Amino acid sequence: MKKSDKMFPYLLLAPSALVILFVLIAPLGYSVYCSLYQCTYMRFTKFVGLDNFIKVLTNSDYLKAFGRTFYISAVSLVIALVLAVMFALWINKYSGIVAYAIQLLVLIPWVTSQVVGTLLWKWIFSEDLGVLNYLVKQVGLAPLKVLSDPKTAVGVLIFVMTWRIIGYAMVQILAGLKSIPKSVEEAAIIDGAGKWQLLRFVRLPMIKTPLLISTIILTLSNINNLTVPLSLTGGGPGTATNVITISVYRLGFENYQFGTSSALSIVLFVVTLALSIGYVKAVKYEV
């Protein structure tokens, strides 16, 4: 009896652990294996040890791309989270079908095909033929430079990435807010808590888990996002929006250098894993 009790948690975890090990970790192991070779066209021609990693980590283009990736992802994340909390608090005041419909609508960007959504934005932003500049011209202003200017292109990329993730964060946070028992909020109000205090000392702590989950998911989702930057700007103009996933993509699908591309994607994985662990530690999430 006792022994079976001891084994019980392992029994519970075994299937999940096997699935994760087999489908996620083992291919990673295979990528590690590729990264140690000169592996053009998936042919293991020469064992090169850590050369691929050295090559990747000493290449200033890739380092800059990492920098850009973090900057763009972080800005987009912060904007998304702040707005998501604001909107969640706002919708939380309402109930019934309207609030529910709004939630559904807000979630649409997250569930629409990423590439189609991005291409539609690109179409709307098209400098000569897009709806945006058409409206701008109708108002009598000079058409805007959108994606052909390096500075605004970064802004637009951040905008589209934020647009995509905000609904997800909002729905998560809203679910968290709704799960706060009315009695707790009422008690706080009776204790004389103002709006801000209610938010800061009651609500925010209570939605820590959804916030943490959204933060991790959206951070990783932003950093690993290939579709949006590739379809929206293709890394341009110049190198303004050349994020790291575009480099990985080019190394693999255009140049077929899978050794180097594996090395780069492993570096990317290690960084994102470190970030996730960092988040978990920062909020002292306990297991």
**Contacts with other proteins in 224-243 (CB under 8 A)?**
224, 226-227, 230-231, 233-240
Pair 85, 173: CB distance under 8 Å: yes
> What is the smallest separation between the CB atom of 283 and other proteins, expressed in angstroms?
6
In the complex with other proteins, the residue whose CB is nearer, 51 or 127, is 127
> What are the tokens at 271?
């960084």
59, 75, 134, 136: which one binds other proteins (CB under 8 A) = 134
Residues 12, 111: Cα–Cα separation, whole Å: 32
Of residues 110 through 129, those in contact with other proteins by CB under 8 A are 110-117, 119-124, 126-129
Of residues 55 through 74, those in contact with other proteins by CB under 8 A are none
Strand segments (E) across the chain? 37-38, 46-47
Percentages helix, strand, coil for the chain, rounded to the nearest 5? 75, 0, 20
Contact status: 285 vs other proteins (CB under 8 A): yes
Contact status: 145 vs other proteins (CB under 8 A): yes
Residues whose CB is less than 8 angstroms from the CB of residue 56 and which lie 6 or more positions away in sequence, other chains included: 62, 260, 263, 264, 267
Q: Is 140 left (phi over 0), alpha (psi -120 to 50) or beta?
A: left
Contact status: 32 vs other proteins (CB under 8 A): yes
Pair 80, 165: CB distance under 8 Å: yes
For residue 242, what is the DSSP state?
A: -
DSSP string covering 1-40: -HHHHHHHHHHHHHHHHHHIIIIIIHHHHHHHHHHTEE-B
**Which listed range, 46-54, 64-72, 278-286, lies at the site for other proteins (CB under 8 A)?**
278-286
> What is the smallest separation between the CB atom of 55 and other proteins, expressed in angstroms?
11
Residues 187, 202: Cα–Cα separation, whole Å: 10
Of residues 146 through 185, those in contact with other proteins by CB under 8 A are 147-148, 150, 153, 163, 166-167, 171, 174-176, 178-181, 183-184
Pairing of strands 46-47, 37-38: antiparallel
> What is the smallest separation between the CB atom of 65 and other proteins, expressed in angstroms?
13
48, 73, 80, 109: which one binds other proteins (CB under 8 A) = 109
Contact status: 209 vs other proteins (CB under 8 A): yes
179 three-state secondary structure: coil
In the complex with other proteins, the residue whose CB is nearer, 155 or 237, is 237
**Which listed range, 46-54, 62-70, 259-267, lies at the site for other proteins (CB under 8 A)?**
259-267
In the complex with other proteins, the residue whose CB is nearer, 62 or 163, is 163
Instruction: Find tokens 């109000």 and name the residue.
Output: 189
> What is the smallest separation between the CB atom of 111 and other proteins, expressed in angstroms?
4
> What is the smallest separation between the CB atom of 242 and other proteins, expressed in angstroms?
8
Contact status: 220 vs other proteins (CB under 8 A): yes
